[in-house]
């Protein structure tokens, strides 16, 4: 038993030491099933959770419409209606004015069947600021100067700071 | 049982080592920001995110314009500085540069901008050097034309030629005599024994005189300050070093004055006065300088004539511009109770240079209030 314990300890020490000495680690892959489920307009996960709800912009902002058009030049145009619906919870009927940062990425090809993105974005806008006062619907529109990049994902975040 | 405790203790310890936080290699005093991020410093004017948003929106709007996207022709655009009418001192070229970056990137070569101010010294140097090579060839061509002309080739006896000083029409202090000397040498080289040149300045009777005229393709008088001539003048006119105007102890010169005024006060030589008067005379004027070569007979009749450009005007290329891109920044600023606010309107226009019509206009507006005023640079 004593010999077994010693050997066991040595084995564990060697194993853990060996793991710590590895030069590289495999990076996490985006789960394909999650990618497939992701919509074309997504909100960034809230940065704070409280006992009474989250500080998520999804609590206050809703999408009133979403359209993809192609103009005469062939440039894809995404039009999204963003509405600040105000507070909807019993503890917050009012809700704040919301300041958003929005980035839209355009892709030449849709998300692949295995769930991975088709490659880098053909065009990506900067993070554009949108101010939504309570009750306002903002007609957000973004055009991509790359013909044929008709697949997109719009990421909406709290104001970047 | 005791051994099991040791085993667990060692295992947990090693596992904790494995979970250790990696070494923090980030700079100690600086944080890298995304250009769209708020730096949280304050200020109520435009931010880098505004400039990037404008560039994004303007690029897609401009590239979708039928005037730009309507054909296969390359569209050339001249830019002009964005006028800043706000209380903030900012470099408005930043917006134009960011805009140009996106337009060049996504227009696939369909748009071309002019290098206005950038790389111009190197460009001038390159063009001048190319021109010097070209001028030698041009002089050689004219020399051949004269040497193999009927005037010289049909004569049984060698033709006697003299070289008269080259006249300056509206170019002062420019010297075309050097080119005349080069031409003379080339003519002799090609014509051989068919021509005989008299000594420069000789009054010997000759059959023809090689002369010409040096002029600027300009509607006004052009010239340059020539320090060598000033020194020469000063050496040759030592008596004029002394005062003719007792009060100011300066010499009055009677030299050519390009701006049309009469006498000018000089201390050393005539051209120093030009230098003081007209800054444009500090450098060789950027005009096409033409040399009109003439072969004149004894009756002062021109029997042969040709024209070469010894120096060409270095143009910006903007005469071919299809459009002008410019704009302005205006603001409505308020201050009170320790706070400041700015409503900023940024306008950009595309102008047709011929009709002067604004064929496209873009506007971007933003309003910010801050309790932390900052200095923009």
Judging contacts by C-beta atoms under 8 Å, the chain B residues touching residue A20 are: 14, 17-18
Cβ contact B225:B271 at 8 Å: yes
Query: What pLDDT score was predicted for residue B231?
Result: 64
Whether A1 contacts chain B with CB within 8 A: yes
Which of B34, B56, B102 should we substitute to test contact with A (largest number of A Cβ atoms within 10 Å)? Answer: B56
pLDDT tens-place string over residues B110-137: 999 999 888 999 999 999 999 988 989 9
Taking the CA of residue B353 and the nearest CA in chain A, the distance in Å comes to 25
Residue B37 belongs to some domain of the structure? no
Contact A72 B37 (CB under 8 A): no
- Tokens found for residue A17: 């030491």
CA nearest to B33 within chain A: A161
Judging contacts by C-beta atoms under 8 Å, the chain A residues touching residue B18 are: 16, 19-20
Q: How would you write B27-82 as a 3-class SS string?
A: CCCCCCCCCCCCCCCCCCCCCHHHHHHHHHHHHHHHHCCHHHHCCCCCEEEEECCC
CA nearest to A158 within chain B: B37
Query: What pLDDT score was predicted for residue B262?
Result: 46
Residue B131 belongs to some domain of the structure? yes
Lowest pLDDT segment from A71-75, A89-93, A148-152, B276-280: B276-280
Residues B156 and B276 in one domain: no
Query: What pLDDT score was predicted for residue A81?
Result: 96
Taking the CA of residue B345 and the nearest CA in chain A, the distance in Å comes to 16
Whether A23 contacts chain B with CB within 8 A: no
For chain A, list the domains and their CATH numbers. 38-158 (2.60.40.3230)
Q: Which one, of B183, B143, B180, B130, lies nearest residue B311 by Cα?
A: B130
Residues B215 and B193 in one domain: yes
Among B40, B60, B66, beta carbon nearest to A145: B60
Residues B125 and B215 in one domain: yes
Q: Give A64's pLDDT tier (boundaries 50, 70, 90).
A: very high
**Mean pLDDT of the A135-139 span:** 94
Give, to the nearest 10 degrees, the angle between helix B2-18 and helix A2-20: 0
The CATH number of the domain holding residue B162 is: 3.30.2300.10
Looking up tokens 């490659």 gives A119
Cβ contact A130:A102 at 8 Å: yes
Tell me which residue range forms the domain holding B229. 224-283
Distance CA A155, CA A121 (A): 13
pLDDT tens-place string over residues B324-357: 999 999 999 999 999 999 999 999 999 999 999 9
Contact B14 A17 (CB under 8 A): yes
Among A1, A17, A101, beta carbon nearest to B36: A101
B323 exposure class (CB count in 10 Å sphere: 0-12, 13-18, 19+): buried
Residues B164 and B311 in one domain: yes
Query: What pLDDT score was predicted for residue B52?
Result: 96
pLDDT tens-place string over residues B46-70: 999 999 999 999 999 999 999 998 7
> Above 70 in pLDDT, residue B276?
no
The CATH number of the domain holding residue B81 is: 3.40.50.10610
pLDDT tens-place string over residues B285-325: 889 999 999 999 989 899 999 999 988 999 999 999 999 99
């Amino acid at each position: 038993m004593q010999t077994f314990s010693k050997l066991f300890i040595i084995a564990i020490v060697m194993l853990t030491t060996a793991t710590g000495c590895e030069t590289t680690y495999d990076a996490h892959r985006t789960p394909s099933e999650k990618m497939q489920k992701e919509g074309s307009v997504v909100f960034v996960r809230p940065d704070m959770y409280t006992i009474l709800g989250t500080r998520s912009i999804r609590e206050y902002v809703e999408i009133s419409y979403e359209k993809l058009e192609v103009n005469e030049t062939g440039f894809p145009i995404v039009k999204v209606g963003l509405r600040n619906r105000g507070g909807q919870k019993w503890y917050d009927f009012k809700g704040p004015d919301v300041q958003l940062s929005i980035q839209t990425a355009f892709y030449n090809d849709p998300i692949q069947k295995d769930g991975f993105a088709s490659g880098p974005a053909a065009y990506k806008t900067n993070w554009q600021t949108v101010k939504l006062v309570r009750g306002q619907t903002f007609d957000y529109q973004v055009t991509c100067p790359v013909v044929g990049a008709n697949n997109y994902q719009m990421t909406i975040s709290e104001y970047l700071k | 049982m005791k051994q099991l405790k040791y085993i667990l203790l060692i295992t947990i310890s090693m596992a904790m080592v494995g979970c250790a936080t990696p070494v923090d290699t980030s700079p100690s005093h600086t944080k890298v920001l995304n250009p769209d991020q708020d730096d949280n410093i304050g200020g109520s004017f435009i931010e880098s995110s505004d400039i990037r948003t404008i560039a994004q929106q303007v690029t897609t709007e401009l590239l979708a314009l039928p005037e730009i996207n309507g054909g296969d022709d390359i569209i050339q655009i001249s830019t002009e500085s964005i006028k800043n009418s706000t209380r903030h001192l900012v470099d408005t070229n930043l917006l134009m540069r960011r805009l140009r970056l996106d337009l060049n990137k996504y227009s696939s070569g369909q748009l071309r901008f002019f290098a206005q101010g950038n790389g111009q010294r190197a460009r001038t140097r390159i063009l001048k050097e190319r021109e010097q090579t070209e001028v030698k060839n041009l002089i050689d061509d004219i020399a051949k034309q004269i040497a193999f002309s009927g005037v010289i080739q049909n004569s049984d006896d060698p033709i006697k030629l003299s070289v008269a000083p080259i006249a300056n029409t509206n170019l002062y202090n420019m010297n075309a005599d050097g080119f005349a000397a080069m031409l003379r040498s080339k003519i002799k080289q090609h014509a051989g024994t068919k021509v005989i040149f008299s000594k420069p300045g000789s009054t010997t009777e000759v059959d023809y005189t090689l002369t010409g005229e040096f002029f600027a393709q300009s509607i006004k008088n052009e010239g340059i300050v020539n320090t060598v001539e000033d020194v020469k003048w000063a050496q040759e006119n030592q008596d004029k070093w002394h005062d003719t105007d007792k009060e100011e102890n300066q010499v009055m010169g009677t030299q050519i004055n390009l701006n049309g005024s009469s006498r000018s006060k000089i201390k050393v030589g005539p051209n120093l006065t030009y230098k003081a008067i007209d800054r444009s005379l500090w450098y060789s004027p950027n005009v096409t300088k033409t040399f009109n070569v003439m072969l004149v007979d004894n009756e002062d009749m021109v029997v042969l004539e040709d024209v070469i450009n010894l120096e060409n005007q270095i143009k910006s290329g903007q005469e071919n511009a299809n459009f002008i891109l410019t704009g302005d920044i205006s603001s409505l600023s308020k201050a009170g109770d320790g706070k400041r606010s700015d409503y900023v309107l940024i306008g950009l226009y595309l102008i047709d240079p011929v009709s002067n019509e604004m064929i496209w206009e873009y506007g971007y507006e933003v309003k910010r209030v801050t309790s932390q005023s900052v200095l923009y640079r």
